[in-house]
Amino acid sequence: MPRRESRTLGQPSGRAWSLSLVAGLLLALGTPHLAAAEEDKPRFDRAVEKVTTTPGAKFDLPGGFTNSTGRTLDTLYVEVQLADYLSFAEEFGNCWYEEDNDTLLVDGMTCRLEGTIRSGRSYDLDFGKVNVDNAARFGNIYYSVGVDAKPPEGTRRGTGRQLTFGERDHADRYVRSASASASASASASYDVVSTRLDVDNPVDLALNEVTLRGKRGDRVKADFFFVNNGPAGIRAVFDSEEDNETAVVVNLTVPPGLTAVEVPDFCRGKERGHGDKGAPGASHYYCWQHRLDKSRTMSPGQFEYFPFVFRIDRADNRPGRIEMATSDQRDDSDPSNDSAAIKVDIADAPSLPSASSGGVSPSHVLIGGGIAAALALGGGALWRRRRSEASHTLREES
């Protein structure tokens, strides 16, 4: 299933492998019985096509399956994987639960169903309600069933009532076939059905304005931040190259009269090329993701951090600029803060005299409330947790 490739649900048993071999032989012989062999597996077939909701709400999650194996089953495994920022409102004693590493919400469930499951019959499930976190936006809920599975590693067993199933005796508008796109990434021994989630919740990605103050010869710090001001969270994917973990986030133009003397390892001078280390002295830089890789979630309050040090070589108060790299992957609700000025206030410039200081001077950073709060909390996630692990942050690279 998507996002949980290591799971064992749906891996073929010895019987399934035998059936696959038979199917291959039948295909070679051109027999019309191939379709029957391929259908010798249960399938999840009841799911709402789309849920439209709001942050903080709850909604019911129905489900169902059909026994297409041609034999009576006494055990079946059902798996449900929720979209980001959703969580189960209720737990079941015959299910195992998995917590999302980024959001700390319990969003994965594998259940063992026991009872008489007759061939050719369809059954309904009631997974209870699903909670919509305040940071939820959009995504997919995935479902599948299998006859040979075990709970994924790192899961815990639920403590509530048993999840049960009842035979379906009526037509149901939610009965659907498997999704072709979802099934393409799943094991050939089971199909995946999905529900599209649509939450009306914007996201605002922002860059901070920085003012550098000093005199000629000073080295001044400049701390730039690419932050998610929320209220929604997003997947940390900022370019269209799925296999490229160095997704470019920002482009920076150095103010005239300044030279970059300390450059983050994850930034490169455009004149020197992507492979050159640091590239001090360039007039333009581009920087890529460092703290958050593309498989993670960027929750409200989380950010990418780009620390530079500039040397003031001559009196020139013209500004530079930092801006977000162009991307088709973003849907920003406030484009006005997608770029920001790098202002310069040089003490010995005739137009703007000011007091000077020696050594390494701190930059005077003018930032919005979201970034200021992020710094006040040491760069952690700012959104309210449901669980006690309030200090949890994403992995930081050295």
Averaged over successive runs of 10 residues, the pLDDT of the chain (398 residues) comes to 44 36 36 43 92 96 92 95 95 95 90 94 95 95 89 88 91 63 45 92 94 94 94 81 70 94 90 52 87 82 93 92 79 89 82 39 43 40 34 30
Long-range contacts of 171-175 (CB under 8 A, 24+ apart): 172/46, 172/64, 172/124, 174/46, 174/47, 174/48, 174/49, 174/62, 174/64, 175/45, 175/46, 175/64, 175/122
For residue 204, give Cα distances in angstroms to 201, 209, 307, 355, 372. Answer: 10, 16, 22, 36, 15
178-188: pLDDT as tens digits: 554 444 444 44
State residue 295's pLDDT score: 75
The per-residue pLDDT of the chain, averaged, comes to 76
Looking at this protein, which amino acid is placed at residue 385? Answer: R
Provide the strand spans (E) within 233-319: 234-235, 248-253, 258-262, 267-269, 284-288, 297-298, 303-312
pTM listed for this prediction:
0.73
State residue 348's pLDDT score: 67
State residue 237's pLDDT score: 74
Q: What are phi and psi of 111, to 5 degrees?
A: -120, 140
Contact 261, 320 (CB under 8 A): no
d(C-alpha 83, C-alpha 300), whole Å: 17
Q: Which residues of 362-384 are buried (b: 16+ CB within 10 A; e: fewer)?
A: ebebebbebbeebbeeebebbbe
Q: What Rg value do the Cα atoms of the chain yield, rounded?
A: 27
State residue 246's pLDDT score: 66
State residue 210's pLDDT score: 95
